[in-house]
Structure 1
Amino acid sequence: MVARADSERFTVAVRAVDGAVVLEVAGELDHDTVRPLRDALDAAVAPGGRVLVDLARLGFCDSTGLNVLLHSRLAAREAGGSLELAGLRGPVARMFHITGADGLFPVHADVADALGEVGGPSR
């Protein structure tokens, strides 16, 4: 499975890797650009498997983006799966830290760490 949604300011690419669905996001995530991520997350979490969102190339995320991720985290849990984050950096990492949202998700240094991790994610 590989899917991609592009706009001038935001992209999301979806692929299956080692039993997980990986969403690679890049650009600016806000009220005007959130729909492709919301749609991709809705489809990814519904089956109840492991979903990993790679935020390494995300330069900006507002409260709209954060709310979509939080909602999808709950939807994943209700479906018997998980929603994990990788690559929190810069202003996006700061926003997650300030809001306390980084403590609600399993957080990995990067996708390779997440996919190769045996002992569980860091927080």
Structure 2
Amino acid sequence: MAAGFPVAVFEDTVTVRAHGELDLVTAEALKHALAEALRHASPTRPVLVDFSQVTFCDSAGLNALITARIAAETDGTRICLTGLNHQVHRLLEVTGTLPLFTVNP
């Protein structure tokens, strides 16, 4: 577990299980979890961020994702998002950041 968000390392992925509200209060914890995940990730082992337990995400949460995406890009690592609710999906669409991530149902 990294800073409140569990990070699990598997053979083919590294999973971050986000939960609750991703906002100014929790964004730093999400950044730490994503950084931890990226330490174990590679071009053949992407980071999978599970949003199935996320109820809300604002610009601070989005910033944590974009920061991780920039760091991942330098190593050729993908960040995949799964379990997006309508609000999070819409946030990514409106901000034009949806194409930066692989989105799984």
Which residue in the other structure is 1:16 paired with?
9
Report Cα offsets for 1:82-121 as digits up to 9, x if no partner: 1111111121111111112112111100xxxxxxxxxxxx
**Aligned amino acid, residue 53 of structure 2:** R
Identity within the alignment, % = 37
Deviations 1:55-108 (A, max 9, x none): 111111110110110110110111231111111112111111111211211110
Structure 1 gaps of 5+ residues are: 7-11, 110-123
Query: 1:25 is aligned with what amino acid?
Result: A
2:25 aligned with 1:29, yes or no? Answer: no
SS at match of 1:46: helix
SS at match of 1:69: helix
Query: Within 2, Cα distance between the matches of 1:102 and 1:37?
Result: 18
Larger radius of gyration: 1
Q: Does 1:41 align with 2:34?
A: yes
SS of residue in 1 equivalent to 2:54: strand
> Larger relative CO (CA 8 A, sep 6+): 1 or 2?
2
Match of 2:71 among 61, 69, 75: 75
* RMSD of equivalent CA atoms: 1.6
- What TM-score, normalized by structure 1, do the two folds share? 0.75
Identify the structure with the greater strand proportion: 1
- Deviation above 4 Å: which 4+ runs of structure 1? none
Are residues 1:95 and 2:88 paired? Answer: no
Question: 1:46–1:79: 8 Å Cα contact kept in structure 2?
Answer: no
Unaligned runs of at least 5 residues, structure 2: none
Are 2:53 and 1:57 equivalent residues in the alignment? yes
Amino acid at match of 1:64: A
The count of residues paired between Structure 1 and Structure 2 equals 102
Task: Decide which moves more: 24-33 or 95-104.
Answer: 95-104
TM-score normalised according to structure 2 size: 0.86
